[in-house]
């Protein structure tokens, strides 16, 4: 569960959307990267849940050794059945990507990357159950799965508020998408394109602007 550009994009993008004082839940918190990115920019109370014991152990370690530890709380368990202390203003998730693609031989990696334990259909139900009526949620998905998830969200009473389509370079096809939903109709949804690198390999200005508070060398 290494730090990756995908997760950094989600954390940086969503950190600008939560108010200074809110309650936030990270579903599938991994080692705590998203929680700490959100905590860096706000005074929110941020909770995270992780099912993998090894990842949870590192999650505990990471969230207890920083300047925001008083506002971070982590839970070990299955988000589908866990009884959270309250409903949240915001929920964020970087969920397992694949349901029928190649499976990793490493069981922890398989759980992290493939939805053998948490399908997107189950995830949207967890979000719907634990989100405040006026709340919002953000999610990162492979581009080819966003329309499927958008239908699931619609069936559960959510409306797309913003979509960020991510490409590696101008020559590449989109490969990731960042989505934000609320229960309030928002037509039309805002649509933004984000390219990570220019043709020469340098980071684009939009990528630098989004990640400069988190990357040491931007």
Q: Going from the N-terminus, what domains does the chain have, and what CATH number goes with each? A: 5-211 (3.40.50.150)
pLDDT tens column, 155-193? 999 999 999 999 999 999 999 999 999 999 878 889 999
Question: Average per-residue pLDDT in the chain?
Answer: 88
Report the C-alpha gap between 77 and 99 in whole angstroms. 21
Which residue reads 């990731």 in tokens?
176
pLDDT tens column, 22-69? 999 999 999 999 999 999 999 999 999 999 999 999 999 999 998 999
Look at residue 20 and tell me whether its pLDDT is greater than 50.
Answer: yes
Provide mean pLDDT across the span 14-24: 90
Report the C-alpha gap between 120 and 149 in whole angstroms. 7
Quote the radius of gyration of the chain (alpha carbons, Å).
17
pLDDT of residue 95: 87
Cβ of 163: how many Cβ atoms within 10 Å? 17
For residues 31 and 44, the answer to whether their CB atoms sit within 8 Å is no
**pTM of the complete model:** 0.88
């Amino acid at each position: 569960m290494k730090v990756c550009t995908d997760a950094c994009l989600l954390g940086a993008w969503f950190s600008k959307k939560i108010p200074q004082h809110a309650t936030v839940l990270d579903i599938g918190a991994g080692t705590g990267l998203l929680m700490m990115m959100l905590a860096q920019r706000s005074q929110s109370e941020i909770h995270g849940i992780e099912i993998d014991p090894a990842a949870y152990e590192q999650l505990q370690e990471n969230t207890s050794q920083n300047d925001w530890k008083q506002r971070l709380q982590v839970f070990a368990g299955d988000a589908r059945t866990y009884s959270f202390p309250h409903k949240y203003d915001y929920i964020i998730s970087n969920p397992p990507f694949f349901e029928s693609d190649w499976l990793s031989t490493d069981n922890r990696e398989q759980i992290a990357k493939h939805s053998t334990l948490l399908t997107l259909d189950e995830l949207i139900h967890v979000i719907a159950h634990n989100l405040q009526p006026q709340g919002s949620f953000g999610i990162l998905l492979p581009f080819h799965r966003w329309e499927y998830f958008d239908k699931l969200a619609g069936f559960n009473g959510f409306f797309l508020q913003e979509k960020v389509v991510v490409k590696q370079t101008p020559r590449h096809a989109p490969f990731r998408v960042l989505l934000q939903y609320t229960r309030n109709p928002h037509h039309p949804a805002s649509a933004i394109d984000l390219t990570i690198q220019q043709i020469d390999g340098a980071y684009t200005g939009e990528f630098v602007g989004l990640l400069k508070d988190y990357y040491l060398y931007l």
